[in-house]
Structure formats: structure tokens, C-alpha cells
Structure 1
């Protein structure tokens, strides 16, 4: 049932789509955060790498450079390697950063270790290679020492040179008065002891938590060097969350649109077909793709179009046939009336009255046939299905036909007396009556009537005769209204070409079929009507469906 419902497929598609968008959003956040984290690491190391490069460049010879690097490694408690540049393979992006006197950072997520590569000023043959496997207060408090070491060469001009190197730092570095900072007495005491302090600030704005490193200025006890505030890395900032949310909603809307477009297209086809039908064009048929509700709608529309077209054609044919069939008895009646006006012979007048009576009876019979056919053709009749004994209906028709003294041998092969089938008795009687009457007209001598239930659970009635039979190419046409294969024989026998059409429509409303072939025993025509021996359930009497009968 799931695969037959377009709405369930849409709901399931939405669930899958939401899951896919969630996975997509998660992966996108991870990818973006990986790039953001890399940029964050590089921004934190750019200023320090510049200061370290300047400090090494001030050393007069290579040995002093190595000693300076060793002192820096002890200060940071991190291994620093002075390596040959030719032994380090750099990517294009890393080369550009080093040429711009910025740090290249390689991060090993598995071991949570960063490798910082720093280019040296005026020394393209060597690189600094720093392995950072921990970041603590020791490392953070060492950063101001490198900056103060840089500023010691510019006494009295510290603020000017800080402004010059500010562009290399992603966070502010400045010299401030101690009293301008929100410090408590303990922190001020530590500064007076030449200890650096770290300030944490939890900001409710988008900046989040920040860190500032405050270090005393050796040349001025009232001033301190302040690095920061440095914002901690935020894995989900507002801008990123808003962007990912909007992008996910956009992707979700595209997915929903993709799910609804096929249904919208098929509804547009139905709407176009209905407009064509409204304009009188009944030739358009909808393609039936799949087995869902839209396919069912297309199938029902096609069936409705076929039925309406058949009704229109039947109405036209009915009008033509009725006008033709009515003219003959009416003309005979008019002629007989004229004869009566001019005839004085009593016996002859009685004869003409009898002929007029027969023509009126023929008109009544024709009108009854036309009304029955029209009632069955226009729409579902009121069918009162009930359990009936099949042999009783067959026996009743055989007895009624024999009473007409047709001089034909009508044989009944009755089914078991206890065999019961679901049927509308009045219409089933009409079917057997029409088939037997048709067989009597065209047989030579023998007609066999039988019935029963086959292996597929289908009830059937069967009438066969020993006449000339019906050619195979005419076996479908005989069920059309007013269809005659032999007009002269039909007129002699009093037929109007509606009997088999009525049988065909009754079979349709019974949910069965009617077909004709050759009788294997008599050699003539054999008509067989079959229909379900049991209705779906008793609630379907009178053609009423319940909600349990509808596949939802």
C-alpha cells in the first residue's frame, strides 16, 4: 500500500530529506569549522612568529641565533627546531604565508598537536619548526616576554612601535595604565612582583569568552602591556548558525519543491484535460504512470471520458435508431387508420384493428427496450444483490419460453438445486430471458440453457443453440445498441438490436463479462455471462461502498 500512495511517498520523502539536510548541515558545519579553526590558529601565531623572526634576525651570528632559539624553547617549554628550509616540503599556500612573514600551521587532529613553521627575516635557507602539543598559562605568559624583548630596542618609543607591528596581530596589543584596568588588589600585587596575569572575561555578546594577558612594563611601574582581549574559538557563532540554518531551509525547500513538482505537473495535465472536456473535446486521454493516487485519478478520468463519449455516441445512435424504428409501426398505424376510414367491411376493419394493436404492442415493446437500455447505459442502476438459487431463475425462463409455443426444443442443464449465488434477480432474469429469446429466434431446433460456478469462483449462465452461429469478426459488434447482422431475419423475428446490448450492460454492472463463441455440442452460437458468485461483503448491497473497501 505504501508504494501505491503518492502522499505517503511525499511524507517519507520529507522525512528522508530532513535527515539528509541534517547530515548535510552537520558535515557543512564540520568543514567550515575546520577551516575556521585553521584560520584561528594561524591568526594567533602570526604576531608571535613575526616577533620571534625579528628577535632571531637581531642576533649577529648563527651560534647566537641558535642560543636565542634555545632560550625561547626553554621559555615556552616547547621544542623549537632550527632546520634547513630545503628539507621541509611546503604547499603553495604555506609558501605564500611564509613569504608574507606569517606562520604556517599544520594541525594533527589525531594527536591534538600543531606544528608551526616560521620563516626567518633575511634568512631564506632556514626555518623554525615548533611542535605545540600543549597550550597553558606558561605558554601564554611567555608571549609578552617576546614583545617586551622586541620593544627593549626602542626605549621611549614603545607605543609607536607597538602601533607599527599591530597589523601582524589579530588581537589588540597596547600599553595601558594599571588604574585603567578592572583589576583587584591581588592581581595588582602580582603585577608589582613582575608576574604576568591572565584575565578571563565572559562576554554575553557575539564575542563570547575572551582572554587578556597583562604583563608589567620594566621601564614604567604604572604601565602594563596588555595582549587582547583574544576571543576563544567559538564552534558555532551566530553568523555560522544563521547561515547554515538558512542554507538548510533553502535546500529543504528545494527538496520539497522537487517532491511536489511531479504531482503538480500531473494535476496540471488533469486540469488541462478537464478544460478540453469542458470545451467538448472528449478525445484527450491522460497517461497512467505508476499505481498511486495520481495514476488512479488519471485512470478514473480516462474511464469517465470513455463513458461520457460512449454515452454521447449511444445517445446519437439511440436517436437515429429510435427515429428509424418508430417510423415503421407509426407508418403502418397511419396506413391502417386510413384504410379503416375508407373500408365498410366489418371483418376487414376488425383485421386492421388487430394489426394496429400489434403495432402498438410493438411500440410498447420498443419503448420498454429503449428505456431499459438507457437506464443501464446512463449510470449505475439500483441493484439489490441477494442470495438466489441459480437453478430457479433458469427454470423459470425455460418454462416461460416454452409457454410461448415456439416449437423449439429448449433443454435445461440445471446446476445443483442448493447452489446459491449473489445477483439481482430481476436483472439476471432479464439476461437469461434475452439470451434464450435470441437463441430461439436463430436456432434450427435446439437450445441448451445451463449455469453454475467455475473454479475461479465466478457464477455463469450459458445459452447455446444449433443455428448458424456468429462469425468471429462480428462477435463484438453484436453487443452494440441496434446492431443487426441480418436485418431481414431480425425484422421477421421482431428484434430491435437492443437485447444483447442490455445483457452487456447488465453484465458490466454485475462486475462481470459477456462473450460469445461457438457451441462445442450444437455447433451454433454459445453466449456466456459470468460474474462474481459472492459480493465483496454484504455491505455492498445496492452498490454501496464502505470506507473499508477503499484502499487508502
Structure 2
């Protein structure tokens, strides 16, 4: 591109496209990580509670518990070794640290793993894992979490249940809020209040309409267990969009700075050359870039500047040579004039004086010719001389 502005605008357009692509790719990658964390956050508390309960059971009790939990959750639950789970090293390390691992197997399906028993020191892959096949997120999963929590709470006196619930939330790592509220203090309508009083599990929308709450009564106690609000993962959080926009603007500003910096560097070269010529360094020239970069406006300006400097240097050199030549040529007629004047003073006859006067007149004519030649050269330096056309009869 020979135009500087087209080059800058083309660069900005290319950067905008690149920033848009990088922004979409970054958003996709970040959302993939956030989705994994979101799923693990929702599943952590429930699967940790089940794994901790299985740890103290024998094989028969574990089989019965898994059968009950399968009916509650509506998903198949199995116990398998880490070797048969085919997990990578990173997932195994996270399981050994007590975390829940969620491996997505489809658009709405995933496998959930939680370590029940650690592997032997020499064979870490022998650890026992609780595995759940979640085919889709449903209301039944929330009901099962309610059931597991109620099973822990009903064993304690009423006054100790809020403290126990808070201890479970912290120790099991539930990724959502849980609290016990008295029925009369609940923000629900009459129909939902009646269903809770009858022992049903109720799912209610949050005040903003962007979340849900799961409510269930705690046996014969005055408490109602509330889980939530549970928010759906926002794929476009304002903080992430602001960060991507800020980084994109920084990248655009950097590219524009690099484009303008190169142009400014070339203009500074022109300025430095002009300053050196003004100081008398007539041999100074502006370096011209290659044909691709030198064909733009600044490149053409540099070429014109070099041509001007070349012409100026040549004109001054010719002028100096002319002045030296004219000075030498003027000396001869001036010397003859001085000699003629001396001879006139010494002449004794009118004929001798006339002879010397004629010679002096010839010297003056030579001086006139030299002056005419200098004026003609000056006109030639200024441009084409003015031509006066006249008709001549050739007959």
C-alpha cells in the first residue's frame, strides 16, 4: 500500500479483526474452565457427603446405600478403582486432595468422581472412587441433596441443627448457600407454604428471576431447609468482558503506536537532514527505504528532498566556479585599463593618447561582455530564458 493512511487504517482493521478473534477464543476457553469449575462446585458437597458416609460402611452397607442414592438422584452410582476410571494424572492429584472431578462426556452429560478411600502408598491407582453418571441436570438432583442433608440433621436436637448445617457446608465444601429458616419467616406464597408444610420439596424462583431456591421442611421441627439461591452460570460476565475489552484496546494502541512510531522516525530523519543542510552541510542526504516502503508519501518526500539538495549543491558549486573564473577574467581587462591610464598620463602627442583611449574602450567592451555572460547565466539558473521572436527576411 503506497498510502500511509491506508497502511495505518489497514493495520488498525487487521488488529481489530485479530482482537475480535482472540477475544472470542479467550472467552470460549475461559468459559470452558468456568463451566468445569461451576459443575464441580455444584457437585462437590453432595458427592463429598456420600463419599464420607461410604467410608465407614462395609460392602453390604455400601451396596444398599448406593441403591438408595441412585433412586434419589436418578443417576447410576458405582464404586471403582482409580485404575479403571482412566483418569489422567492431574485428575488423580485433585481427587487425592479431596476435590471432586467432573469429566464432561456430552453436551449435558458428565461423569462425577470423588475419592472414597485413598490408594496404597506403592499403588495410588488402587484408590476407591465414587462415580456418578449424570446425563442431565434435573430437579431430582436437588431433591437428593436435600434428602442427604435432612438425614444428617434429623439425628440432632432442634437447637443444634443450624450449627450442624453450617458445619456440613464448610466441611463438605458445598458450593451454594444453605440455611434453616422458620416456616413463618419464609418469603413464599400460600401454595408453596402449604406444600412445604405437607413435607413436599418446593423449588421457587429468586427475587430477580435469575436463580432458584430449593425448600423442604425438616421433619417435625419448625425449620425449613433452604438451598440457594442457585444461579445459572453467566457466559458473559461483565468483569470478563471488561478485561477482554481492556486488553484489546491495549493491543490496538500498541499496534497504532508502532505504525505511527515508524512514520515519526522517518519524519525526524527529514528534519535532521534539513537542519544539517541549513548549517552548511550540503552533502547530507535522507536515506530512502526499499521500493515497497519508499513509494509512500514520506518516501516520495525523501526522494524530492534529496533531489532538491542535489540541485542546490550542484548550483552552489557551479556558482563558485563561475565566480572564480570571472574573477580571473576580470583581472586582465582591469590591468590593461590601469596600464592605459598610466600610459595616457605619459603620452606626449594627441595621437598616442587617442591610441590608448581606443585600447581602453576595447577593454571596457570586454568587461561589458563578461557582465552580460554573468547575467545570462543567472537567467539560465532561474529557469528558461525569455525568447524574443522576430521576423527575418531570408531573401
Match of 1:117 among 113, 120, 142: 113
1:19 maps to which residue? 17
1:334 maps to which residue? 338
Match of 2:96 among 88, 96, 99: 99
1:161 maps to which residue? 164
Q: Secondary structure at the match of 1:283?
A: coil
Matched, 1:370 2:366: no
Looking at secondary structure, tell me which structure has more strand per residue: 1
Contact 2:96 2:118 (8 Å CA) reproduced: no
Higher relative contact order (CA 8 A, sep 6+): 2
Residue 337 of structure 1, CA deviation: 3.5
Residue 122 of structure 1, CA deviation: 7.1
CA deviation digits over 1:412-438, x for unaligned, max 9? xxxxxxxxxxxxxxxxxxxxxxxxxxx
Question: How much is the aligned-residue C-alpha RMSD, in angstroms?
Answer: 2.7
TM-score normalised over the length of structure 2? 0.86
Contact 1:51 1:150 (8 Å CA) reproduced: no
CA distance in 2, matches of 1:351, 1:193: 152
CA distance in 1, matches of 2:88, 2:156: 36
Contact 2:118 2:127 (8 Å CA) reproduced: no
Unaligned runs of 5+ in 2: 120-125
1:46 maps to which residue? 44
CA distance in 2, matches of 1:298, 1:15: 28
Contact 1:55 1:149 (8 Å CA) reproduced: no
1:538 maps to which residue? none
1:152 maps to which residue? 154
Give the alignment of 1:276-355 within 5 angstroms: 276-289=276-289, 290-343=294-347, 345-346=349-350, 348-355=352-359
CA distance in 1, matches of 2:366, 2:24: 85
TM-score normalised over the length of structure 1? 0.63
Residue 132 of structure 1, CA deviation: 1.6
Residue 273 of structure 1, CA deviation: 2.1
CA deviation digits over 1:441-479, x for unaligned, max 9? xxxxxxxxxxxxxxxxxxxxxxxxxxxxxxxxxxxxxxx
Residue 348 of structure 1, CA deviation: 5.0
Q: Secondary structure at the match of 1:194?
A: coil
2:180 maps to which residue? 175
Distance 1:242 1:383, change over 3 A: farther
Contact 1:66 1:82 (8 Å CA) reproduced: no
* Total equivalences in the alignment: 379
1:127 maps to which residue? 129
Residue 20 of structure 1, CA deviation: 0.8
Looking at secondary structure, tell me which structure has more helix per residue: 2
Distance 1:324 1:113, change over 3 A: same
Contact 1:216 1:223 (8 Å CA) reproduced: yes
Distance 1:225 1:121, change over 3 A: farther
1:37 maps to which residue? 35
Contact 2:115 2:127 (8 Å CA) reproduced: no
CA distance in 2, matches of 1:130, 1:368: 111
CA distance in 2, matches of 1:180, 1:311: 101
Contact 1:211 1:232 (8 Å CA) reproduced: no
Q: Secondary structure at the match of 2:280?
A: coil
CA distance in 2, matches of 1:368, 1:201: 105
Residue 316 of structure 1, CA deviation: 2.6
CA distance in 2, matches of 1:66, 1:371: 120
Contact 1:175 1:223 (8 Å CA) reproduced: yes
Residue 263 of structure 1, CA deviation: 1.2
